[in-house]
Amino acid sequence: MIRPQIPGIAFCAALAPMAVLAQDAGLPDMLTLDPIVISGGLTPLAAENYARSYTVLTADDMAAAGVTSVQDALRRVPGVAVTSTGDSYTQVRIRGSEFSHVLVLIDGVEANSPSGGSYLFTGMDLAEIDRIEVLRGPQSTIYGSNAAAGVISITTTQAGKPGLSYGGAAEVGGLGTRAASTYIRQRGERGALSLSLSARNIDGDDDSRSGGDKDFNDITTAALGGSYALTDEVTAGFTLRRSWQEYGYDTTTSPVDDPRDYQLDAPLTAKRDETYGALWLEAAALDGRLHSRLALSGMNQTLDHFDAGVATSDDRSTRRSLRYTGSLALDGRDAGSADQKLIAAAETERETYRSSYNPGGTYERDTHALALEYQGRFADGVSVQAGVRREFNDVFRDATSWNLSAAWQVPGQDLRLRAAVGRAHVNPTMFQQYGYVPGAYEGNPDLKPARSLNYELGADLGFAGGRGLASFAVFQSKIDDMITGTADSAVNAPGTSTRKGFELGVSLQATDSLSLGADYTYVDAAQASGLPIVRAPRHQLGLRASQGFAAGRGLASVDIRHVSGTYDMEWFAWDYTTPSPANSKLPGFTTVNLAAHYDLTDEIRLQGRIVNLFDKEYSEAWGYYGQGRTAYVGVEAKW
């Protein structure tokens, strides 16, 4: 199948949030807030001070749902649309955005490819993940380009209890799936060290449906992290993650009469290699009123393509970043718990890109940034967050991002009102600027960053004596200089593209053992011309229930998902005589997933799941079809 050129992955050094490692390792809690939104500001901030919509998925949440991949976990989040074109290629959009407008962080390290602008979640297993934060709305003031629609922040599991802990899990299932993972962690008085290994091999099926070879997907991951308190005021640490992925895929053809005939069997394979890492140092001064963090971060991504085992193309991209963040308490308290604080950040970053197709060699671009943020909370229940960021780019115009948000806890009521507005931007990907495919695509070095203005109003209401929570948010985003692809290049589209809609979520702990949940997202996403934005579903509905049994030793859950109103380009019907294919509406679909687990002992858990219980045929993109009914069974152990 024809796919965008996406760089593979290699060595990186990047920032792991200090607050998490310090808390996990039992070190001085310099930036520990509870509960916190780790990724919601230049430093972690209290959840009640964060005024935008967000969702936190914990390891327990994902285990209860029976999901084993990040993309399946994200399908359960309001406002998030996941599109898979085969097991090896997945894109994520937030509130009708482009996939390159969503920033992905792994232990604080930016994982998006400088080449393609996105992160492909098919290379990441849930076995190593402790927490996923999904922040909806612009985050460019905090993170710069790629965060215009939101942030997906993934935190891997570190040493969480004193002493030695270890464990592992294994699973087998349909499509020839075999998975195994193991970990060992040590937490001492002044430091911690964690090592995890995981592998998932999927024989797969013939995605072309023509009886050809199976399109397999094999993933192996190794992660290492640690921290050490050098003194009572200074802590150092590191994080390193390496993954290897090899997969098979098919080619495509057009025009054809039926989208089922779009994929043609072919002996095509690819290898992705990615590495992320960080070295960081954090210190307290002025009796704790000033916290400073210095982080060196980086990543390498590589992707190699083969046809019947013969190399055909490859690309490489890297990112290196050095960032200083200083947090000053304005009210004389410790900066980690201050009600009023000012945070400043300075960052320099270099990205590189090289493709075997491109005769221009290696391209590079530099970005320098300064940012300032205020976080405040007041006795009357009001909290405020405001920030501004200026980026200085060497290959296109400089950009300024800003945001302002506020929340109010209504006195005497379990009701929280919130509002936010912000300006964000998205830089062109390096493939959009410099990419080259013979006879098919040539980059546009004159592209400008896209600019967006975003609004959000929301409310959170507790009910049923604190056992239930209802959340509502209405949002709008207006994007100028939108970067869009033509048949053979990319351009800044004239006019203003809009995304607007609302999200509604309800959760209820109905009894001690029964929990219920529902969410609905409506998105109206349109180009300046009025045509719908592709792969941005208008309606998404999720219904969930979980029931404990056997005196709390077991849990069973059901997850129902409905998606409709999705448009996509009819690549299967395109005859190459027009600049781009027509947009058409995909059929709506509903899927049902079941999961259950049972604790045989305090250390051993038996688990099973069924994906797509009723074997519904569905499509998230023209010519590609989702997973059929598949059953899995596994065991997990920990000590």
Question: What is the structure's pLDDT at 20?
Answer: 35
Residues 6+ away with beta carbon under 8 Å from 60: none
243 pLDDT more than 60: yes
Q: What gap in Å lies between CA 206 and CA 603, rounded to an integer?
A: 39
> pTM for the complete prediction?
0.91
Instruction: Give the chain's mean pLDDT.
Output: 89
Within a domain: 1: no
52 pLDDT more than 70: yes
Within a domain: 310: yes
Within a domain: 256: yes
Backbone angles phi, psi at 478, to 5 degrees: -120, 125
Of 96, 75, 94, nearest to 561 by C-alpha is 75
182 pLDDT more than 50: yes
pLDDT tens digit sequence for 190-241:
999 999 999 999 999 888 877 788 899 999 999 999 999 999 999 999 999 9
The residue behind tokens 């060497």 is: 394
The model's confidence at residue 622, banded by pLDDT at 50, 70 and 90, is: confident
Cα–Cα distances (Å) from 489 to 571, 578, 584, in that order, read 16, 14, 22
23 pLDDT more than 90: no
Peptide linkage before 162 cis (omega within 30 of 0): no
Of 161, 189, 155, 184, nearest to 15 by C-alpha is 155
Query: Could you tell me if 637 and 168 are in contact, meaning their C-beta atoms sit under 8 angstroms apart?
Result: yes
Within a domain: 289: yes
Longest dimension (CA), the chain: 72
Residues 6+ away with beta carbon under 8 Å from 261: 253, 572
**CATH number for the domain that contains residue 76:** 2.40.170.20
Q: Please count the structural domains in the chain.
A: 1
Q: What gap in Å lies between CA 292 and CA 626, rounded to an integer?
A: 47
Within a domain: 343: yes
pLDDT tens digit sequence for 530-542:
889 999 999 999 9
pLDDT tens digit sequence for 507-518:
999 999 999 999
Q: What gap in Å lies between CA 62 and CA 72, rounded to an integer?
A: 9
Q: How is residue 38 written in tokens?
A: 């780790």
Within a domain: 345: yes
Q: What gap in Å lies between CA 432 and CA 453, rounded to an integer?
A: 23
Average pLDDT over residues 440-444: 89
Our CA angle for 125, 126, 132, nearest 5°, is 125
Average pLDDT over residues 167-177: 94
Q: Mean pLDDT: which of 5-19, 122-136, 605-619 is highest?
A: 605-619
The model's confidence at residue 576, banded by pLDDT at 50, 70 and 90, is: low
Q: What gap in Å lies between CA 119 and CA 126, rounded to an integer?
A: 15
Range of the domain at 204: 9-638
Question: What is the structure's pLDDT at 127?
Answer: 79
Within a domain: 319: yes
Question: What is the structure's pLDDT at 41?
Answer: 84
Within a domain: 396: yes
The model's confidence at residue 566, banded by pLDDT at 50, 70 and 90, is: very high
Cα–Cα distances (Å) from 558 to 512, 595, 610, in that order, read 17, 7, 10
Question: What is the structure's pLDDT at 117?
Answer: 87
